[in-house]
């Protein structure tokens, strides 16, 4: 029922055997979507391995289907789902030909205004998600995608949850693989997630952007990171980082989640900085 309106005919797809990367369920391939009028849209196609269990198949499809409602330039959107003859599904997404933001940061040198523009776009995407009552829970530079126009889309919604309107936080233990070094202190301590825990993660993404993709907390283990964060340690001010920008990061990392900044404020502050440095 949920698949209605998102099905694509397999004949509209032209798959290249050019892998763009590995997803959690299979390879991601490059291709084209052939639309009426000879329009061809470059696409990324998430393929699926043999699913041994129905829950795995449902998880693969649910990550794609949640995107069908997203309509924002800085959020990955779904172009469609295709069921092949062998019953294995394909999830079709816009092609972000430069790959993930972490790789982009490592491969080229960028001026401050260019880095700020990356950060601003991520903040805009997250402001949109938060307004829809969604919490990403895995926001990191590796999970943001970039195209050749340097447009950024927040992607990878495998941990995404919707917060009921009457609640402000959701408590969940046992997420499986958890991104400790991007997690807020309350997520580490008590397994609670909210828009404000995503704000914390955004502060870490901002730190990644300004350091050109340095690993947060360096060689510290996940276990030691948890201890340090609980004890009040925060990522240090990166070299050449304007104090104003580090202040923004620090406002994302307040221990008290209710006092933390929000994405609406982050968008405004980054926009002001962008205007100042461009």
Per residue in 144-183, pLDDT (tens digit) is: 999 999 999 999 998 999 998 888 888 876 666 789 999 9
pLDDT, position 174: 61
Domain count, the chain: 2
Annotated catalytic residue within 138, 198, 224, 256: 138
Same domain, 15 and 46: yes
In a domain, 143, yes or no: yes
Nearest to 117 by CA among 156, 155, 73, 78: 73
Q: Is the pTM of this model over 0.85?
A: yes
- Could you tell me where the beta strands, DSSP code E, fall in the chain? 13-22, 27-35, 39-46, 80-83, 89-94, 99-100, 134-135, 144-146, 152-154, 161-162, 170-171, 192-193
pLDDT, position 121: 99
Same domain, 152 and 264: yes
pLDDT, position 176: 64
Q: Is the pLDDT of residue 25 over 80?
A: no
| CATH code of the domain containing 25 | 3.30.200.20
Q: Is 143 annotated as a binding residue?
A: yes
Q: Is 153 annotated as a binding residue?
A: no
Same domain, 188 and 117: yes
Q: Is 68 annotated as a binding residue?
A: no
The values of phi and psi at residue 153, to 5°, are: -125, 130
R_g over Cα of the chain: 19
Q: Is 260 annotated as a binding residue?
A: no
**Centroid of chain to Cα 94:** 15
In a domain, 2, yes or no: no
Quick check: is 138 catalytic?
yes
């Amino acid at each position: 029922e949920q698949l209605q309106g998102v099905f694509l005919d397999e004949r509209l797809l032209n798959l290249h055997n050019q892998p763009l990367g590995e997803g959690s369920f299979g390879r991601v391939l490059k291709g084209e979507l052939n639309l009426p009028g000879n329009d061809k849209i470059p696409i990324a196609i998430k393929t699926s391995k043999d699913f041994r269990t129905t829950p795995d198949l449902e998880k693969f499809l649910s990550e794609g289907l949640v995107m069908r409602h997203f309509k924002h330039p800085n959020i990955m959107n779904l172009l469609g789902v295709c069921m092949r003859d062998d019953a294995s599904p394909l999830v079709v997404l816009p092609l972000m030909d430069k790959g993930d933001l972490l790789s982009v940061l490592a491969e080229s040198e960028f001026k401050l205004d260019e880095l700020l523009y990356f950060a601003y776009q991520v903040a805009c995407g997250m402001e949109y998600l938060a307004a829809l009552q969604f919490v990403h829970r895995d926001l990191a530079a590796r999970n943001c995608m970039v195209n050749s126009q340097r447009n950024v889309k927040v992607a990878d919604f495998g941990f995404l949850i919707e917060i009921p309107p009457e609640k402000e936080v959701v408590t969940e233990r046992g997420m499986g693989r958890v991104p400790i070094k991007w997690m807020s202190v309350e997520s580490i301590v008590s397994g609670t997630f909210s828009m404000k825990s995503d704000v914390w993660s955004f502060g870490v993404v901002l730190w990644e952007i300004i350091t050109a993709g340095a690993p947060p907390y360096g060689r510290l283990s996940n276990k030691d990171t948890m201890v340090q964060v609980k004890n009040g340690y925060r990522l240090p001010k990166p070299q050449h980082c304007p104090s104003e920008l580090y202040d923004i990061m620090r406002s994302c990392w307040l221990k008290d989640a209710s006092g933390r900044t929000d994405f609406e404020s982050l968008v405004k502050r980054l926009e002001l900085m962008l205007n100042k440095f461009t």
